[in-house]
Amino acid sequence: MSTAKLTINLDALATNWRNLDALTTCETAAVVKANGYGLDAGRVGQALAKAGARNFFVAAAEEGVALRRAIGAGPGISVFSGHMEGDSKLLREFQLTPMLNSLDQMLRHFEVLPGHSFGVQLDTGMNRLGMEAAEWAAVRDIALGQQPVLLMSHLACADEPNHPMNAQQLQTFIELTNGLDVPRSLAATGGLLLGRNYHFDLCRPGIGLYGGLPFSDGLPVVQLDLPVIQTRDLDVGETVGYGNAWTAARPSRIATVAAGYADGLHRALGAGEIGVFAGQTRCPVVGRVSMDLITVDITDLADTPDHLTILDEQQTVDMLADAAGTIGYELLTSLGARYARSYTG
């Protein structure tokens, strides 16, 4: 057994959902795109449905199919990318609700799946997904005649609470949707934390469920333990790993652990000041992160551990992401397929 062990705490996930839900008086849905932020959309969806979530969001129809198979009929599943060519059969068979992003998508939907549930995504300034104001003005009455289940938009700067873009997008969203008597959603995790003005009828947290910032009160959901393959003693001046990137400045004991950048532990981590943990004791990663292996300085440990921990409540997803020069969202969704995964709760 030389694969690393990824433990996913579904109780912590459900607690995060409940704690976010408690911050709102509206419905709280859950974003489980990118395979549940890398943690298995099916398992995540089941746990959140049990906790009380009744609506889920995915990026693509194909993701909706996998989720529907896991959580069964009943909960709503919405698709951010809308109704793409080739999606119609999946949307119908698996009761998926596309968030229509353009006139093209709307025409396709009304023609191919008349009467089938849909929402409309509006652009309020991010210029990534959703109808522009002029486009919406042109089709709004037709769309409303077909009874959309949701009008939604997405904030570009919600992780920066003081960014003026937030209020600007809020104002635009109000202008595009006021008085239309259709449920509305603007906020993901960041927007939910901006306060009630941003909540409307439905919040749809993603990253906060999984223990990531900007939800600083979130519980860590993942733990990642790396088995020690072997250890060796180095003399002063000996080097470790690719490019001889690290040189022993003292007599050192080095452990080689099983996981690397092919497992989503970014190669950039090797250039940072990152550690792994034996219990409470931090051991520095030394040398470059390679594809399947990481080398660690365990000189200060009294005993050789059988594993070292790189992600847990001591070293969170965001701390590791920061060391790799990225964000928790990317670190989480990069976690690879080679781990032995177990689910608690």
Interface with its own copies in residues 178-237 (CB under 8 A): 227, 229-230, 232-234
DSSP string of 89-126?
HHHHHTTEEEEE-SHHHHHHHHHHSTT---EEEB-SS-
Enumerate the β-bridge partners of residue 224. Answer: 6, 311
Interface map 72-111 toward its own copies (x if CB under 8 A): --------xxx-xxxx-------------xx-xx------
Report in angstroms the alpha-carbon separations of 38 from 26, 66, 264, 329, 330: 27, 14, 10, 10, 10
- Rule CB under 8 A: say whether 36 interacts with its own copies: no
Binding residue (CB under 8 A) for its own copies from 33, 68, 199, 307: 33
Considering beta carbons, is residue 26 or 262 the nearer one to its own copies?
262
339 is catalytic: no
* Distance (Å, whole) CA 283 – CA 301: 8
- Torsional sign, CA 260, 266, 267, 273: negative
Binding residue (CB under 8 A) for its own copies from 8, 44, 123, 277: 123
The residue annotated as part of the active site, out of 33, 37, 261, 329, is 33
Considering beta carbons, is residue 113 or 268 the nearer one to its own copies?
268
To its own copies, the closest distance from the beta carbon of 191 in angstroms equals 13
- Rule CB under 8 A: say whether 291 interacts with its own copies: yes
* Candidates 45-53, 110-118, 215-223, 328-336; binding stretch for its own copies (CB under 8 A): 328-336
33 is catalytic: yes
DSSP 131: B
- Rule CB under 8 A: say whether 27 interacts with its own copies: no
Count the Cβ atoms, other than its own, within 10 Å of residue 30.
Answer: 29
**240 exposed, middle or buried (CB, 10 Å; 0-12, 13-18, 19+)?**
buried
Catalytic residues: 33, 242
